[in-house]
């Protein structure tokens, strides 16, 4: 990513609580309501050829419950008859049964290699929908959420190749034309990948635009672009303006250009990948250095010019550009330096160090064309001098003042993954990375829509906490803003081995996670107490307390979907939708 700005995430000190004391387990009962579904959720099991971790991440851990952030407490799922079903909650005690808002025209069961159907709410009146067979629908819905003006009409539908799921979509107007941009995810067989899983990930960015004919509001594909990478992205979203794209993933993504560009790029790569033979070899002892430069057979002593000075060396053959030229790593006694042509037609230069002892890490400053040769006795001496830094035992002397770091003390949840993820912003015109952040140990946890007009936020682990970041594509100087902190959630979630989904309230009042079966954990953020508690250990009053609540669902089926709103948690299984009342809005 040459030319990309290397950025970092700037945390806001005011949003961190150094004195957070942990979650108090609360036994207060949670009101839980359930709705029986009249038809099962259209769950698609992984096939035998979908065996990789990426298939599992993309489709095996798919969230079958879709939250419409443009309206309050409005969720959707697709059932086995291809019906898009909606539940819109106003009163928990008077729940309406799920209602059909749209029916997919295709017979889902007839398609062998289909994926799960997916849906994304591009705006308050536009919806993108995929049936999982490779067909994309653009739908004008009118105002949703049980309103009188709600009517889902297809304005565009097209077969776009192999099956995909919709990751994200946005609706925008540019130069008086309405467009919807959609991001599609595919896991594709990769014939060239013989060493890895045999698959790669393709993200296709499609822009569908209104074709302006008099009185005819047709929509057609304006642009199709494909990025490829080697891991399913944790997060991928299009900017509200449709001008750029942000991707958070372990392995890098890049745009696939046309064939001609590709050939050019490959030849460049070949040139850089060919490992060139070193131009010279050098050895050193405590008081001198020997440099050996291979020279052509027809070169005589008169063709060679070598010039020594206390800090520089200059070597040239005949009228060619200098073979070696530049500042030496340290000073030499230039009057004692010599050179000869050796028997095997190589130029041998002998340099005498001015100060005996120190090893030189390089011969000429910044020159990487030479190779240092170390003989076995030097190797042994170097190993000996480094012995005090290592030890065969995990912690050879634990009673010492400052024992070395002991890996036995690290907990399993603190083990970092080998390669860290990165967050990249791609420009829609140049298709190049403009901003990049290496996330290091800041593990990705989940994403959430706080404001539907903005990009989705992502939550990362920072030490023990979990921090929520809002991308702001219109502020290139501060593109990612720290907007909330879930205290100790980074640490707490790491111990939940069976977790399947994580979510948080758009107003940050709580975070929640669910296991594959039955159990839901809720972490309510600190709220002021009606009575003041006293912390004896620190001799101070505690005005706030954070609570952990646990709900166990009366369900024997695995959890398929999980969404959080400010007041409620929605949990979906094959046949039931559960509603857990977490907060009562004042």
Q: Distance between CA 254 and CA 433 in Å, rounded? A: 9
Q: For the segment 255-269, what is each residue's pLDDT rounded down to a tens digit?
A: 997 544 554 455 555
Least trusted range by pLDDT, from 191-200, 238-247, 390-399, 559-568: 390-399
Q: Report the C-alpha gap between 321 and 250 in whole angstroms.
A: 44
Q: Is the whole-model pTM more than 0.75?
A: no
Going by pLDDT thresholds of 50, 70 and 90, the confidence category of residue 19 is: confident
Percent of the chain with pLDDT over 90: 59
pLDDT at position 417 is: 46
In 536-574, DSSP assigns E strands to 540-552, 561-564, 568-572
pLDDT at 193 over 90: no
Model confidence pLDDT, tens digit, residues 220-255: 999 999 999 999 999 999 999 999 999 999 999 999
Residue with the bigger pLDDT between 391 and 291: it is 291
90-106, pLDDT tens digit by residue? 888 888 899 999 999 88
Bridge-partner residues for 502, per DSSP? 513
CA–CA dist 94, 517 (Å, integer): 27
User: 5-257+418-581: which CATH topology?
Assistant: Methylamine Dehydrogenase; Chain H (2.130.10)
Task: Determine the Cα–Cα distance for residues 337 and 312; give it in Å rounded to an integer.
Answer: 12
Q: Among 215, 198, 355, 341, which residue's Cα sits nearest to residue 284?
A: 355
The answer to whether residue 215 scores a pLDDT higher than 90 is no
> Domain 280-368 class?
mainly beta
From CA 304, how far away is CA 297, in angstroms rounded? Answer: 13
CA distances for 23 relative to 55, 499, 524, 544, 550, angstroms: 35, 18, 8, 11, 12
Distance between CA atoms of residues 566 and 578, nearest Å: 16
Task: Check if the beta carbon of residue 568 is closer than 8 Å to that of residue 582.
Answer: yes
Q: Where are the alpha helices (DSSP H) in 41-128?
A: 53-55
Full DSSP string of 335-401: TT-EEEE-TTSEEEEEEEBSSSSPPPS-SBTT--SEEE---HHHHHHHHHHHGGG--SSTTS-TTSS
Higher confidence at residue 395 or residue 345? 345
Mean pLDDT within 559-578: 97
pLDDT at residue 487, as a whole number: 95
pLDDT band at 380 (very low <50, low <70, confident <90, very high): confident
Residue 472 CB partners (closer than 8 Å, separation 6+): 454, 478, 479, 480, 481
- Does the pLDDT of residue 521 top 80, yes or no? yes
Strand order from edge to edge, sheet including 457-462? 444-448, 457-462, 465-471, 480-486
Q: What pLDDT band is residue 274 in, cutting at 50, 70 and 90?
A: low
Q: Collapsing DSSP states into helix, strand and coil, what is residue 53? A: helix
The pLDDT, as a whole number, for residue 448 is 98
Per-domain boundaries in the chain = 5-257+418-581, 280-368
Q: For position 535, what pLDDT does the model report?
A: 65
Mean pLDDT estimate for the chain: 87
| pLDDT category of residue 418 using cuts at 50, 70 and 90 | very low
User: Residue 370: what pLDDT?
Assistant: 85
For residue 390, what pLDDT is reported?
A: 57
Residue 201, CA distances (Å) to 112, 189, 223, 369, 431 in order: 21, 9, 20, 38, 17
């Amino acid at each position: 990513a040459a030319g990309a700005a290397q950025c970092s995430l700037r945390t806001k000190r005011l949003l961190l609580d150094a004195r957070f004391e942990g979650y108090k387990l609360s036994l207060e009962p949670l009101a839980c309501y359930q709705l029986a579904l009249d038809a099962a959720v259209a769950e698609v099991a992984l096939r035998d050829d979908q065996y990789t971790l990426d298939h599992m991440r993309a489709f095996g851990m798919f969230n079958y419950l879709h939250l419409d952030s443009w309206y309050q407490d409005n969720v959707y799922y697709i059932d086995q008859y291809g019906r898009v079903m909606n539940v819109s909650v106003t009163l928990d005690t008077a729940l309406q049964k799920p209602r059909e808002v749209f029916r997919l025209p295709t017979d889902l069961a007839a398609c062998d290699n289909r994926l799960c159907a997916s849906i994304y709410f591009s705006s308050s009146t536009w919806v993108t929908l995929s049936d999982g067979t490779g067909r994309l629908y653009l739908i004008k819905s009118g105002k949703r959420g049980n309103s009188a003006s709600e009517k889902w009409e297809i304005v565009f539908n097209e077969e776009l190749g192999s099956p995909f799921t919709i990751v994200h979509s946005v609706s925008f107007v540019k130069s008086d034309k309405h467009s919807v941009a959609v991001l599609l995810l595919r896991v594709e067989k990769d014939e060239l990948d013989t060493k890895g899983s045999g698959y790669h990930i393709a993200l296709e960015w499609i822009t569908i635009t209104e074709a302006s004919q008099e009185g005819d509001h047709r929509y057609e594909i304006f642009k199709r672009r494909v990025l490829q990478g080697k891991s399913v992205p944790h997060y991928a979203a299009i900017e509200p303006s449709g001008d750029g794209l942000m991707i958070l993933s372990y392995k890098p993504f890049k745009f696939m250009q046309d064939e001609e560009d590709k050939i050019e790029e490959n030849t460049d790569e070949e040139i850089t990948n060919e490992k060139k033979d070193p131009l010279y070899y050098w050895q050193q002892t405590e008081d001198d250095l020997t440099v050996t430069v291979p020279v052509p057979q027809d070169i005589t002593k008169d063709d060679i010019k070598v010039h020594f000075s206390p800090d520089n060396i200059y070597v040239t053959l005949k009228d060619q550009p200098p073979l070696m030229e530049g500042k030496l790593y340290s000073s030499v006694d230039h009057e004692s330096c010599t050179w000869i042509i050796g028997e095997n037609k190589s130029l041998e230069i002998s340099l005498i160090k001015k100060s005996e002892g120190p090893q030189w890490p390089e011969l000429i400053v910044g020159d990487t064309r030479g190779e240092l040769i170390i003989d076995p006795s030097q190797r042994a001496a170097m190993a000996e001098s480094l012995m005090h830094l290592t030890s065969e035992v995990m912690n050879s002397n634990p009673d010492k003042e400052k024992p070395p770091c002991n890996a036995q003390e690290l907990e399993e949840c603190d083990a970092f993954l080998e390669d860290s993820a990165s967050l990249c912003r791609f420009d829609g015109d140049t298709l190049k990375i403009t901003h990049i952040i290496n996330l290091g140990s800041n593990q990705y946890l989940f994403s959430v829509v706080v404001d539907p007009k903005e990009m989705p936020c992502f939550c990362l682990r920072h030490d023990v906490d979990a921090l929520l970041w809002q991308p702001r594509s219109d502020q290139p100087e501060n593109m990612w803003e720290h907007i909330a902190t879930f205290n100790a959630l980074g640490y707490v979630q790491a111990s939940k081995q069976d977790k399947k989904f994580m979510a948080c309230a758009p107003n940050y009042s709580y975070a929640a996670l669910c296991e594959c079966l039955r159990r839901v954990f809720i972490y309510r953020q600190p709220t002021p107490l009606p009575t003041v508690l006293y912390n004896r250990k620190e001799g101070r009053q505690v005005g706030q307390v954070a609570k952990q609540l646990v709900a166990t669902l009366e369900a024997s089926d695995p959890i398929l979907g999980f969404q959080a709103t400010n007041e409620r948690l929605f949990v979906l299984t094959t046949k039931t939708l559960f509603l857990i009342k977490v907060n009562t809005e004042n």
